[in-house]
Amino acid sequence: MEPEPKRLTSLDALRGIAALSVVFWHWQHFFAIKGDWQDGWSHGQEPLFWLLKPLYLQGWAAVDLFFVLSGFVFFWLYSDTIRTRAIGAGRFALLRLSRLYPLHFVLLLAAAGLQFAFWRQTGQFFIYGANDVPHFIAQLFLVQRWWIDAPQSFDGPSWSISMEALLYVLFFALCRFGMRPGWRALLVALAAVPLIWVDEDIARGFIGFFMGGVMVACWKGLRVRADAAIVTRVLGWSAIAGWVVLAWLLYRDSPLVGGDETNAGFLIVFDIVLCPLTVLALAMRAKKEHPWLGFLGDISYATYMIHFPMQLALALIANRMGWTPQVFMQGWVMVLFYAVLIGLGTLSFRYFEKPMQRWLRRLSPARAALSEA
- What would the pLDDT profile of 287-297 be if each residue is shown by its tens digit? 655 667 788 88
Indicate the pTM of the whole model. 0.93
How much is the average pLDDT of 200-211? Answer: 97
Work out the percent of the chain whose per-residue pLDDT is above 70: 95
CA distances from 66 to 47, 63, 146, 276, 330 (A): 25, 5, 17, 11, 29
pLDDT of residue 372: 42
Q: 199 vs 370, which has greater pLDDT?
A: 199
Confidence of residue 261 (pLDDT cuts 50, 70, 90): confident
pLDDT of residue 295: 86
Cα separation of 50 and 200, whole Å? 29
Q: 259 vs 144, which has greater pLDDT?
A: 144
Q: Which residues contact 234 (CB under 8 A, 6 or more apart)?
A: none
pLDDT of residue 368: 37
Confidence of residue 259 (pLDDT cuts 50, 70, 90): confident
How much is the average pLDDT of 128-134? Answer: 94
- Average pLDDT in the chain: 92
How much is the average pLDDT of 230-249? Answer: 96
Whether residue 354 is predicted with pLDDT greater than 70 in this model: the reply is yes
Whether residue 370 is predicted with pLDDT greater than 50 in this model: the reply is no
pLDDT of residue 1: 53
Cα separation of 27 and 52, whole Å? 12
